[in-house]
Amino acid sequence: MKRRNWIKLSALGVVAGAFPSGTARAGNWLSGEREVQGAQIISTWKHGMEANQGAWKSLKNGGEGLDAIEAGLKITESDRSNRSVGIGGMPDAEGHVTLDACIMNSDSRCGAVAYLEGIAHPISVARSIMEHTPHVMLVGEGARKYAISKGMEQMQAPLPEVQEKYEEWLKEQQAKKPEINHENHDTIGMLIRDAQGNIYGGCTTSGWAYKMPGRVGDSPIIGAGLFIDNEVGGAVATGLGEAIIRVAGSHTVVELMRQGCSPQEACKEAVNRIISKHSDMEGLQCGFLAINKKGTVGAYSVYNGFNFAYTDEKKHALIDAAHDRKW
Ligand code: SD4
């Protein structure tokens, strides 16, 4: 790390326990600088394994980074057993499945869609908004009309088995606020570093189960759920969106990397920032996943249980993130 950055970070309180780049802690895959040749794909949670495979196939077939992001995330959006993304997602308190997604290119162009109903692939809508409109984000009915005008696939949600769950929940009339915890945490965020070192990202979710109608989380917000700066790297977030938005989470991670932090240090600092801004951390799970230009990866969450899928030419594995505390 350059001395100038080291001083700046010391002032921020970031480098306690940090180490200069190039001095990897032996045995810890997530620590230190690690240069990787060739493309890499990382995605949040276990379903990222399948999504990464789809994205990898797209890259190998000559797809560009953004094609691969879209191809990979569409797999998760089509997974009827996934209760936090796409067609299988849980509804809001009035029984509507509303989807959020965003996508960001290595040239900083981006697109986002929020509160979208009845459309199977919000990630494709986000990409289309980026590529074919002068805007970054469309929401609700306007977004749905736009998607239909572009011939996007429509869907019927909630699925019957999800509707059944919803009706049970209604009967129970839970006063208790639903938590984003180990049972409700399936948002997928994906980052790709292509063979030339360019970074691309996407994020897609149905958000917080039984949320208030109209609620939008971090996932479609550029800078919160996803941020790319191709001079530096990229980051994605998962967990309680309200907490992630409060610290502009993914942007914070990328900016910390710009100031000299490794991806791991940056993810940890963003989590610490969330912890420092909330007096009650019970059930407040948030995690960040990041990659820099060299291909070094970082992942850190408030509670244990967060993992991510990693894919490159030689490796396809599910890896546990480091965490601040245990459930
Ligand atoms: C949200 N961040 O809507 C999403 C939910 C999530 O893992 O990521 N769950 O707040």
- Residue from 44, 76, 98, 187 carrying the catalytic annotation: 187
- Report the pLDDT value the prediction gives residue 280, as an integer from 0 to 100: 87
Express each pLDDT in 180-197 by its tens digit: 544 555 799 999 999 999
Q: What percent of the chain has pLDDT over 90?
A: 80
Is 187 an active-site residue? yes
Average pLDDT of the chain?
A: 88
Among residues 260, 265, 261, 189, the alpha carbon closest in space to that of 228 is found at 189
- Residue 112's pLDDT is 98
Q: How far apart are the first and last CA of the chain?
A: 34
pLDDT for the residue numbered 285 = 94
Tell how far the Cα of 237 is from the centroid of ligand 1, in angstroms.
Answer: 8
Span from the CA of 241 to the centroid of ligand 1 (angstroms) = 5
CB of 204 shorter than 6 A to ligand 1: no
CB atoms within 10 A of CB 316: 14
* Position with higher pLDDT, 3 vs 114: 114
> Pick the residue with more confidence: 36 or 23?
36
Residue pair 115/102 in contact (Cβ under 8 Å)? The answer is no
Nearest-5° angle of CA 95, CA 98, CA 103? 165
Considering only CA atoms, which residue is closest to atom 5 of ligand 1? 207
Tens-digit pLDDT profile for residues 117-134: 999 999 999 999 999 999
CA-closest residue to ligand 1 atom 10 = 241
User: Which among 240, 244, 303 is the best mutation to test ligand 1's pocket, defined by most ligand atoms within 8 Å of the CB?
Assistant: 240
How far is it, in rounded angstroms, from Cα 56 to Cα 66?
12
User: In the sheet that 297-303 helps form, which strands lie side by side, from edge to edge?
Assistant: 226-229, 233-239, 286-292, 297-303, 322-325
Length of the chain: 327
- Distance between CA atoms of 119 and 96, rounded to whole angstroms? 12
**Is 60 exceeded by the pLDDT of residue 3?**
no
**Domains in the chain, CATH or no CATH each:** 30-325 (3.60.20.30)
Q: What gap in Å lies between CA 31 and CA 18, rounded to an integer? A: 10
